[in-house]
A and B are shown apart, each in its own frame.
Chain A
Amino acid sequence: MNIAVTKASLAPAPNGVTTRPQVRIVIVGHVDHGKSTLVGRLLHETGSLPDGKLEMLQAVSARRGMPFEWSFLLDALQTERDQGITIDTTQIRFRTPSRDVVLIDAPGHAEFLRNMITGASQADGAILIIDALEGVRDQTRRHGYLLHLLGVKQVAVVVNKMDRVDYSAARFKEISNEISAHLTSLGVTPTAIVPISARDGDGVTERTANINWYDGPTVVEAIDGLTPARALDELALRLPVQAIYKFDDRRIVAGRVESGDIGTGDEIVIMPTGKVAKVKSVESWPQTPVFGRQGAGRSVGITLDRELFLERGDVIAHVKAAPRDTRRLRARIFWLHDAPLKAGASVLVRLGTMETRASIVAIDKAVDPGELASIETSSIGRNHVGEIDISLANPVAADPYTDNPRTGRLVIEVNGRIAGGGLVLSVDSGQRAIPVDIVPVESALRPEERSARYGHGGAVVWLTGLPGSGKSTLARALERKLFSRGGSPLLLDGDTLRAGLNGDLGFSPKDRAENIRRLAEMATHLARNGHIAIVAAVSPASDDRAQARRIADNLFREVYVATPAAVCESRDPKGHYAKARAGNLPSFTGIANDYQPPANAELTIDTSTRSVTEAADEIERLLAGTGVLFGELNDLAANI
């Protein structure tokens, strides 16, 4: 085997790490078509191999009684060397005259398609390799299709092993036409088609006499023709929230700018909820704050001019160019999981930093991209692609990938492991209006002004417990007590609100959740303005109460009115238990035992062992002890 190659004609360029454009290239193709060999050859001919590596490869090959094998350079794992296949993707760097290249070697075996995708998803461009003897094969087509699906638009085709076909120009032409037709049908135009022999070095850095009929670029020239990924700065701002940090007195919203840019003073909208705020500052470390626009790719932290509830998975955008909020998506996906994806399946969808449960409503056009024959419409098999309709449990902010490649893609998780992924084709914006022109008006009074008058800060006192446990009675006593001390309490009784504001809601779990959400939103609004909102609501589901706690955040105080069920039923103030026992009150909480008691309530009270006055005193102590009530309280009643 010829390893005495032409001496490296490309010395490593002496430029610094920060000045040269970097391009990431994935090499894909059918198994045994020569990817790893081409990589080894490229590294060698660009002078990028470390000292001793060539000798090490010779020794490794000799030990196995084999001719010299370039692929051992990247196939670092024992199994790979022993079986002569690449199992996992790897990355290696080299330099051409004008670029720093990160070369991603991806396995060709169908079995390791997930590893090929893992590698290719990071790439700006691709080299698709084809064996001149074997021609275009299943995996060639499959990889071509997946590049297209992953959004890799620049593909240079390399026709390898030309030595096996006597450097035949006619054979080259034949393969060129076939692969061009395939790629073009996918919307990808090959940037170059290069005849080479990776083993012997023809066409890699030099056009040798063997291929004197070819006058196009060499592989290295073709690589130099690929451009780094397009800047995402020109697109609309998308900042998916990774987390909210409160390590000190700042409340920092952290995330990466996926597209567009952001800066202090920007008016932003938080999707999918549509809340509006302004960027107060951009925080950083060690210097803070930072000024100037923060563009796509930056991991940033911002503070807002008002206290809004937002959470991981929200997307920050500019008010006039927000993504759509939706519970329905259509996506084109590839499937990597052993078990096929079936219509009706329950999965987890990740879109940016958002995660939500979802179900697959319908499957269309499931194909094996290697054969491109339509095979299924009710499931997508392993390593196949398909178009699906997804119904999401929670609303998400999403863009079609044609509008934004970063926020227009998703992955699907099964049993905690990524099982597939793909592009958002279209977004059904659902029923909710896009709230571009909702701008909350702030109160004329600052919360401190009210605090000074009332002697307390704002709070949400959330009384939860079985029907008849004494919530409303206790709430009224507390309301009276706080008011008589000069405070500003307000009772929000669950039943009372159902008579008006929440009159459209029934008692399904979904409606109950919405009922609690509205109660929590209203209570939080009051609390932010300095009042003490006393909520009395059965609120049986711990998830719903957790949502209320998230909405009210640090204003929330949960009081579990833990009166024994038997006592509650014997009281039956509204006659509900009697009706329910008679079978006339479906979905009544208490009889069916669907009440989920709180695990972390700030206070637990049993009204069967406490008088109403004692219980109200306990809540008052809770409020004083957690900083809601302060100063000398005026007991107005005492002065009468």
Chain B
Amino acid sequence: MDHLDELEAQSIYIFREAFARLKKLALLWSLGKDSNVMIWLARKAFFGKVPFPALHVDTQKKFPEMYAFRDQYAKEWGLDLKVDFCPPIEEIDPTLPPAARSAARKTEGLKLALAKYGFDGLIAGIRRDEEATRAKERVFSPRGLEGGWDVRDQPPEFWDHFNASPPQGAHLRIHPILHWTEEDIWAYTQRENIPIIPLYLSNNGKRYRSLGDQDITNPVVSNASNIDEILTELKGTKVPERAGRALDHETEDAFERLRVAGYL
């Protein structure tokens, strides 16, 4: 087994545990490279079928290429796609810095969707190497009744034994690709020939490393126009992946505050 085989096997194990132990699951699909790999892994885990809905909590501010991608592959991959919308910015905590406030719409959208469908498990494609508070996540991460993350009281999780009994009305976040890195994602996307949104590839000397909303995501300088070149670039770069995500950099704890409140 090579490194990618190991990552894949572990993710499949997590998917199957989630499906076996929770009643009502959904997979959060943000259309980016990570969640596309995640859907691919779900299809591996369940032999071609994704046996739970893919939920897109839509800020309605994604790039047009992302919507086109969603509509094409939801059909091609046979997904039970659910699209739900986020509340307007006016309804969001005005004390948050601007980009964080904009991102917090998604947290609120998530809460609405959770209440609407009654999911007890939300599968999300976050990775430890993306951001320092995500590095502290559990694979099965309990959320409080308000969707919040209690970082001081995370349950023990060892030897691939997961806590899968959320209290009534609360839910679990399940993170099947927590152990992957950005390089792993690209190497696997290449190996498995998983489709990607062209925004990740260089256009006029710039490309997106991470795709969020149009207004709070910026491209990085890059000439990488295929996955081989992206992998070469990543091996050389010391620029963090989320450098183009404004919300991470507004205040020291902007991202932590968002995550504690229920952000991904």
Contacts and interface: CB of A to CB of B under 8 A. Distances in A.
Interface string A58-84: 001001000000000110111100000
Nearest to A150: B158
Given A18-B2, A74-B132, A254-B16, A350 B158 contact: no
A507 interface: no
A417 B136 contact: no
Contact of A88 (B6, B136, B252): B136
B238 interface: yes
A418 B20 contact: no
Given A76-B132, A93-B181, A88 B155 contact: no
A252 B12 CA distance: 15
Interface string B88-119: 00000000000000000000000000000000
Given A76-B256, A78-B253, A90-B135, A243 B155 contact: no
Interface stretch (A44-52, A479-487, A509-517): A44-52
Contacts of B12: 256, 299
A117 B156 contact: yes
Contact of B45 (A49, A76, A299): A299
Given A76-B133, A76-B256, A416-B163, A411 B49 contact: no
Contact of A285 (B43, B129, B135): B43
Which of B13, B135, B138, B156 gathers most chain A CB within 10 Å?
B156
B19 A243 contact: yes
Given A14-B235, A92-B135, A115-B156, A411 B161 contact: yes
Contacts of A411: 158-159, 161
A594 B181 CA distance: 57
A350 B157 CA distance: 12
A93 B129 contact: yes
B256 to A, nearest CB: 6
A298 interface: yes
Nearest to B20: A243
Contacts of A52: 240
A309 interface: no
A419 B71 CA distance: 44
Interface in B106-158: 128-129, 132-133, 135-136, 138, 151-152, 154-158
A336 B152 CA distance: 15
Interface residues of B, number: 55
A469 interface: no
B4 interface: yes
B205 interface: no
Contact of A51 (B4, B133, B179, B238): B238
B195 interface: no
Contacts of B10: 299
Interface in A540-563: none
A77 B9 contact: no
Contacts of A168: none
A73 B135 CA distance: 12
B136 A284 contact: no
A288 interface: yes
Contacts of B256: 76-78
Nearest to B3: A18
Contacts of A254: 16, 45
A194 interface: no
Interface in A16-37: 16-18, 22
A252 B135 contact: no
A121 B13 contact: no
17 contacts: A16-B187, A18-B3, A74-B132, A78-B252, A89-B136, A114-B155, A118-B154, A118-B156, A121-B158, A242-B13, A256-B9, A284-B44, A285-B43, A288-B47, A297-B5, A298-B9, A413-B163
Contacts of B163: 413, 416-418
A298 B45 CA distance: 11
A78 B251 CA distance: 12
A118 B133 contact: no
A417 B159 CA distance: 15
A242 B252 contact: no
A395 interface: no
Contacts of A150: 158
B240 A51 contact: yes
B47 A247 contact: yes
B6 A418 contact: no
Given A90-B136, A122-B158, A416-B165, 5 more contacts: A51-B238, A52-B240, A87-B152, A117-B158, A299-B9
A18 B47 contact: no
Contacts of B159: 121, 409, 411, 421
Nearest to A49: B238
B47 A298 contact: no
Contacts of B240: 50-53
Contacts of A299: 8-10, 12-13, 16, 45
Contacts of A418: 155-158, 161, 163
A417 B138 CA distance: 13
Nearest to A20: B3
Contacts of B184: 17
B187 A88 contact: no
B183 interface: yes
B87 interface: no
Contacts of A60: 252
B53 interface: no
A488 B132 CA distance: 68
Contact of A77 (B1, B136, B156, B231): B136
B165 A115 contact: no
Contact of B47 (A12, A92, A285): A285
A203 interface: no
A432 B244 CA distance: 63
Contacts of A148: none
B51 interface: yes
A12 B183 CA distance: 14
Contacts of A51: 238-240
B46 interface: yes
A242 B17 contact: yes
B198 interface: no
A286 interface: yes
A219 to B, nearest CB: 21
B42 to A, nearest CB: 10
Contact of B16 (A77, A242, A297): A242
B169 interface: no
Interface string A404-446: 0000010101001111010000000000000000000000000
Contacts of A89: 136
A255 B9 CA distance: 10
Nearest to A52: B240
Contacts of A286: 43, 48
A283 interface: yes
A17 B3 contact: yes
A295 interface: yes
Which of B10, B135, B167, B184 gathers most chain A CB within 10 Å?
B135
A267 B129 CA distance: 42
B1 A295 contact: yes
A507 B20 CA distance: 34
Contacts of B49: 247
A530 interface: no
Contacts of A525: none
A247 B42 CA distance: 14
A598 interface: no
Nearest to A286: B48
Which of A49, A242, A299, A411 gathers most chain B CB within 10 Å?
A299
B154 A115 contact: yes
Which of B9, B44, B183 gathers most chain A CB within 10 Å?
B9
Contact of A336 (B156, B238, B252): B156
